[in-house]
Amino acid sequence: MSLGAPEMALRAEMSGTRVDALAGQTEALTPRQLFWRRFRSDRAALVAAIIVIALLVLAIAAPLVVRLLGLPGPDVQDVKLTGAFHSPTGPTLAHPFGVDQLGRDLLSRALYALRLSLAVAVAGTAVAALLGCILGLLAGWFGRWPGVVISLVLDLFQAFPVLVLGLALGAACGAGGCVSGALAPGAPVIIFIIAISSFAPVTRIVRGQVLALGEEEFVAAARSLGASPSRILFREIAPNLVAPVVAYSILLIATNMLLGAALTFLGVGGEPPGSTLGGLIAESRIYLPAAWWYLVLPGVVLLLAVVAFNVAGDGLLRALNLQAVRPSRPHRGESRVGSARSSEWR
C-alpha cells in the first residue's frame, strides 16, 4: 500500500527523531563511561576484578584478618601441635588448614605469604613499567638511532633465560648482597630480577604507541601552535599512555607472581623475611603426599591470584579496545594498537 505525503512526512520525522535521539545518546557517553559500559558487560572480567580487589584487601589487612579469625601469628611456633618426628598435622577447628613442621598455622602463613608475593610482584611490575615508559618514550620520539640501540638492548634482555639469570643473581647476591650491599638478598633481588625481565615488552608497547600517536591530529595541532617537543611529549602523548600501560601492567602482575614463586621455589635470593607462596610450596614438597594440605592452600591461592589478574587484565584491554596490546605478542602491538582510541583518554 502506497503512503500519502502526510504519512511519509510523519514517518520521516519520527525516523529523524529516533536517529537524533540515538546520536544524542552516543555523544553523551564520555570515553570513561564507554569503558565502564564495556567492562561491566564482561561478566568474567568483572568477577575477576572483584577477586583481585578481595585478594588485595586480604593481603593489606592480613594482620587484622588473622586476629579476627583467632589464629596465631605466622611466626608463632608450637611443636606440641606437630605429629611424630615434627611432621605437619592436618586441618582442625583451631587450625583450618593444619600446621607446618614447626607448629605454625598454615592459614596465617598463607595470608602473609600472599601479602609478600603481591608486594614483590607489584613492586617489580611498577619498576618495569616506569623503566619501560622512559625507554619507550625515548625510542619512539627521538628518531632512528635511539630506537635501534634500545631495540638491540631489549632483544638482548629478552633472549636471555630469566630463570638462569635469576639463579646467577641469586648465587651472587644471596650472601652479602650486590653493588656494595645496595641489592640486598631476599625480596630486593627477586624484585630486581622481575623488573629487568619485564621492562622489555612494556618498552615495545610504549614505543609503538608513541609512534602511532605522533601522527595524530592533536599532535600536529600542537606543533602548529608552536609547542616545544618536550611539551608535546609529556603533555600530549604521555597522558594517552596511562590506560594501555596500566592494563598491561595488571597482566604483568600475574606473570610476575608466577616468576616470583618460581624464583623463591628455586631458592633464589636467600630467605626473605617471612615466606612467599612459592616458599610455602617449596617447603611442602618434602612432606608430600602425606601432608597434602600443606600444598593445597598456597597452590590454590597462587592459582586464583594469577587467573584473576589475567582475566581482569584481558577485560581491561577489551574495554579499552586495545586487544593488540598482549604480553605474548609485544612486537605486533607496536603497529596495530589503535592510537585514535587512546587519544580519547587525554
* Packed helices 106-141 and 242-265: angle between N→C axes, nearest 10 degrees: 130
pTM over 0.75: yes
pLDDT, average across residues 249-267: 88
Q: How far apart are CA 245 and CA 232, in angstroms?
A: 19
Compute φ and ψ for 178, nearest 5 degrees: -125, 165
d(CA 168, CA 174): 10
DSSP state, residue 182: T
pLDDT, the chain, mean = 78
Lowest mean pLDDT among 28-32, 70-74, 215-219, 260-264: 28-32
Q: Cα(56)–Cα(120) distance, rounded to whole angstroms? A: 13
* Domain layout of the chain by residue ranges: 32-345
For 65-92, write each residue's pLDDT tens digit.
999 988 888 888 888 888 777 788 888 8
pLDDT at res. 4? 52
Q: Which three cell numbers stand for residue 199?
A: 621492562
Residues facing residue 99 across a β-bridge? 89, 105
Average pLDDT over residues 110-123: 92
* Range 32-345 classified under CATH 1.10.3720.10: yes
pLDDT in tens, 144-201: 777 788 888 888 887 878 888 777 777 776 556 665 655 666 778 888 889 988 898 8
Coil, strand or helix at 198: helix
Torsion of the alpha carbons at 127, 144, 321 and 28, rounded to the nearest 10: 100
What is the rounded CA–CA span in Å between residue 334 and residue 205? 6
DSSP per residue over 269-323, as a string?
A: T---SS--HHHHHHHHGGGTTTTTHHHHHHHHHHHHHHHHHHHHHHHHHHHTT-T
Q: pLDDT grade, residue 218 (50/70/90)?
A: confident
